[in-house]
Amino acid sequence: YVLNGTFRGGKPQWMKPMSRCYIRFIRDRWELYVSHHPSGTTYFYHPDQSLELPPTSGYTPAPCSGPDEVLSLECKHKAPPTSEYLLYTNQACPFAQQVHIVMQELGIESTSETTKLKMVERKLVDIFSKNDVTFINSYYKAYPSKIQ
């Protein structure tokens, strides 16, 4: 599972790559949950509402899981990363759009309007007029050989 932005209450969620399977805070509890219509399926849940991150053990199997099945999680990170990055972009460049797609797939950018975990700030730049001085300085810092 990889970090995939935030869900209800601004709590982080993790998604199994290339699936609709999540570890997320939903229905006032942490769940191992598969998103599908009409209402998704919960496989395990943890009833402690006070936890900001999903616990590593203590999950209860839901009716669709076997009564003897156990879910335990191993966390590589104690908290979701909170550092922010600035991405200079525009709405026309296909390369910039590919970067946005990759960031969403890696879980470092969310398309949700309610996300509180904002790791990447997009700054739109006009490629046809005078560029922002900060952008130019950052560009030359990243590519010193391009200084003219």
Query: How much is the pTM?
Result: 0.51
pLDDT at 76: 66
Residue 116 has pLDDT above 50, yes or no: no
pLDDT at 95: 77
pLDDT in tens, 66-115: 888 898 887 665 555 444 566 777 777 777 777 777 777 776 665 544 44
Q: Which residues pair with 85 in a beta bridge?
A: 120
The residues, ordered by sequence, that sit 6+ positions from 148 with a Cβ below 8 Å of its Cβ are none
